[in-house]
């Protein structure tokens, strides 16, 4: 009985430990981190000379569903990047949901995007800084 009380108290105590900020975005932390860093790298690598580079505060939301991911970015408007994990590495596949992705994944990403557009904070980046349409 005593061990049950101790275990219960420990469980309650652990529930009050602050979670890392990355936990607010959806998916395994390493995958979220890798997709976030890849997005920042590829976005900045393709900017016109003299354009302002992004950092993690431009990432609005990240959703990782198994080997598929969507990243929403705010930079002079909003755009999404789509990623797939092949052979253990994340690869950028474009700014539109690929047609070959499973219908269930496409539907889930669409539903989550729609929910965020309607005010949901699900999968949002706690470090995101709204900047308006000017970048």
Domain residue limits at 27: 20-134
In a domain, 8, yes or no: no
Q: What pLDDT, on the 0 to 100 scale, is given for residue 7?
A: 42
Q: Mapping DSSP to helix (H, G, I), strand (E, B) and coil, where does residue 65 land?
A: strand
The answer to whether residue 98 is domain-embedded is: yes
Residue 86 maps to a domain? yes
**Structural domain contains residue 106:** yes
Average pLDDT over residues 36-56: 92
pTM of the predicted model as reported, rounded to 2 decimal places: 0.77
- Give dist(CA 47, CA 45) in Å, integer: 6
Model confidence over 54-78: pLDDT tens digits?
Answer: 999 999 999 999 999 999 999 888 8
Residue carrying structure tokens 């975005």: 25
Asked if residue 125 is part of any domain, the answer here is yes
Q: What is the pLDDT of residues 74-98, one digit of tens each?
A: 988 889 999 999 999 999 999 988 8
Strands of the sheet containing 89-94, edge to edge, are 59-65, 68-74, 78-86, 89-94
Predicted confidence band at 99 (pLDDT cuts at 50, 70, 90)?
confident
In a domain, 93, yes or no: yes
Count Cβ atoms within 10 A of the Cβ of residue 8 and give its class: 0-12 exposed, 13-18 middle, 19 or more buried: exposed
Contact predicate 120/109, CB 8 Å: no
Number of domains present in the structure of the chain: 1
Please choose, from the candidates 104, 116, 103, 101, the residue with its C-alpha nearest in 3D space to the C-alpha of residue 71.
116
In a domain, residue 3? The reply is: no
- For 72-120, what is the HEC assignment? EEECCCEEEEEEEEECCEEEEEECCCCCCCCHHHHHHHHHHHHHHHCCC
């Amino acid at each position: 009985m005593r061990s049950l009380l101790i275990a219960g108290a420990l469980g309650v105590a652990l529930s009050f430990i602050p979670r890392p900020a990355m936990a607010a975005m959806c998916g395994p932390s390493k995958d979220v981190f890798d997709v976030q860093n890849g997005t920042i790298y590829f976005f900045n690598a393709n900017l016109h000379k003299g354009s302002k580079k992004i950092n993690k505060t431009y990432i609005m939301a990240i959703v990782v569903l198994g080997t598929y991911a969507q990243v929403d970015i705010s930079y002079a408007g909003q755009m999404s990047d789509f990623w797939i994990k092949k052979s253990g590495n994340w690869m950028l596949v474009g700014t539109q949901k690929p047609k070959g992705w499973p219908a269930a994944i496409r539907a889930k990403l669409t539903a989550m995007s729609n929910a965020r557009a309607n005010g949901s904070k699900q999968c949002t980046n706690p470090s995101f800084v709204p900047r308006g349409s000017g970048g």
